[in-house]
Structure 1
């Protein structure tokens, strides 16, 4: 990050259930901002409770990159980067403050590191070949193509494995990537003690089930989203689908899901530490203090592009 240049994107990151959305919305209200979601599942319509959209928090604050496509639609990191910069440029043209909020580290990096990405179409002949391989054989093939896997779920769920192999093979034939504006982000992180974050995750999961998350997944399947496709979305959608198929009792499903979300939060923290090792500055906010006050104190000392 070039600190000599004015900042042109505010990033609010943190693990799941950390309260980053509420902070992002509060800052947007105070600073004429608009939210850009950085969540890999919130782009899908109908996936509300399972992806933690928390749309009721936004109120009058404009938001982007949520509810873009149907769950059966293939939406890649390439599409996210393309759609992000389209929204970003419109926000800047309106002289509003772009605020990226989310916990999907890969999506954040794709923007702040300006990944050179290409659109990868479905390769039907390749998929026919891969259909004959076992899960273990697919895992081996992907790791041979790309040993450094950023997404652990890609190794566990067959549809994700197939798509990851498809993309990895296409990347062996590089093409010119679109050119996007350089991003100089101010990154704020919401940090909780691990024991407290675990309690927040469990409480939030219980609340989601009380609000109807099981019924949400059941409705998606009734509307034509296959169980295999639900597996693709991981975590809540994968395990609730297995419960609906009769493979897990409700209690087993809840316990496994709770444990896996805790593990997911650890992987998010690992990604954020990797960002810091790379040289990114993350200003961690103390969750026991006033998050908005801490954030505003940092913003008051920063120079922003277009006088933001």
Structure 2
């Protein structure tokens, strides 16, 4: 194995098969996985976030994973916290002389640690929030595009999340630039390249399966534990639309149709982010999704040894 790399990163849009590949690769290399998924950090949000923890058992062996189930539903986790938690996990794996695998689809989380961005704990800005009240998600997203700094458009699918992203950008614009808190990491970056139509087919199939597995009951149980509907809607996608259904704001068919469209749009935004990473200087080695994982692993191992 080439020890020149600090870690391996496996990225790609939702439903492309990242986790299964990462787990099989971790088994092959006898290492551990750090999740880069902004919603899998939450406990009890399992079906909707697609944790698929059974994937972490390979040939009877449980693959150690980090940054999954570390917060309660209702809390608000962010990239600042992720960056610090990532390094705790990363250092613990490196101390075992293993090569960590970072796996996920949240582009901003991945980029923040690979580049070692200096991020700040951002306080709430009540005046800014009040000035943005009433703006549509489309208007807020358009505002986000005007900022030059790093911002996360992939996960912004509710007005609250968009306002928080703007709040972060505004705060960081008025801070004096300082050296990065963390050193950039040299990662072998593997992207799972899935054809658009195949991606759409898999997303639709997976949505149907998740609903059959009890995703609506999962959301209802979280609401029953005292998390407010607004708190769940904040997380977007499955939790947003199922909550709107459970609170009587959407019919089942409306929820299903709107959620399916939203997930397709989310996957498209993920790919836009990854292409942007390439423009920002990252080399992503794209591997076709439709070849067996054994072949993918051989390709990755060959790139490690080059």
TM-score (norm 1): 0.88
Alignment of 1:41-120 (within 5 A): 41-59=39-57, 60-120=62-122
> Matches of 2:42 and 2:179 in 1, distance apart?
25
Alignment of 1:152-171 (within 5 A): 154=156, 157-171=158-172
SS of the aligned residue for 1:294 comes to helix
Is the 2:192–2:287 contact (alpha carbons within 8 Å) kept by the matching residues of 1? yes
Is the 1:112–1:184 contact (alpha carbons within 8 Å) kept by the matching residues of 2? yes
Offset from partner CA, 1:188-218 (integer Å, 9 cap, x none): 1112211111111111111111111111111
Q: CA deviation at 1:141?
A: 8.0
> Matches of 2:192 and 2:120 in 1, distance apart?
32
Q: CA deviation at 1:73?
A: 2.0
Alignment of 1:140-155 (within 5 A): 147-148=146-147, 150-151=152-153, 154=156
The equivalent residue for 2:29 is 31
The equivalent residue for 1:236 is 238
SS of the aligned residue for 1:97 comes to coil
Inter-CA distance 127–142: structure 2 relative to 1 (3 Å threshold): farther
Inter-CA distance 109–227: structure 2 relative to 1 (3 Å threshold): same
Offset from partner CA, 1:19-77 (integer Å, 9 cap, x none): 11000000000101101101111111111111111111112100001111112222111
The equivalent residue for 1:127 is 126
Inter-CA distance 297–252: structure 2 relative to 1 (3 Å threshold): same
Is the 1:34–1:63 contact (alpha carbons within 8 Å) kept by the matching residues of 2? yes
Q: CA deviation at 1:164?
A: 2.5
> Is the deviation greater in 173-182 or in 254-263?
173-182
> Matches of 1:159 and 1:100 in 2, distance apart?
28
> Matches of 1:193 and 1:36 in 2, distance apart?
26
SS of the aligned residue for 2:272 comes to helix
SS of the aligned residue for 2:100 comes to strand
Offset from partner CA, 1:227-270 (integer Å, 9 cap, x none): 11111101111110110111111111111111111111111111
User: What root-mean-square deviation, in Å, do the aligned CA atoms of Structure 1 and Structure 2 show?
Assistant: 2.5
Alignment of 1:217-232 (within 5 A): 217-232=219-234
Offset from partner CA, 1:57-115 (integer Å, 9 cap, x none): 11210000111111222211100000001100110001122001111111111111211
Q: How many residues align?
A: 297
> Matches of 2:254 and 2:163 in 1, distance apart?
28
> Matches of 1:196 and 1:48 in 2, distance apart?
24
Match 1:247 to one of 222, 246, 249: 249
> Matches of 1:195 and 1:213 in 2, distance apart?
25
> Is the deviation greater in 252-261 or in 128-137?
128-137
> Matches of 2:144 and 2:254 in 1, distance apart?
35
TM-score (norm 2): 0.88
Is the 1:34–1:62 contact (alpha carbons within 8 Å) kept by the matching residues of 2? yes
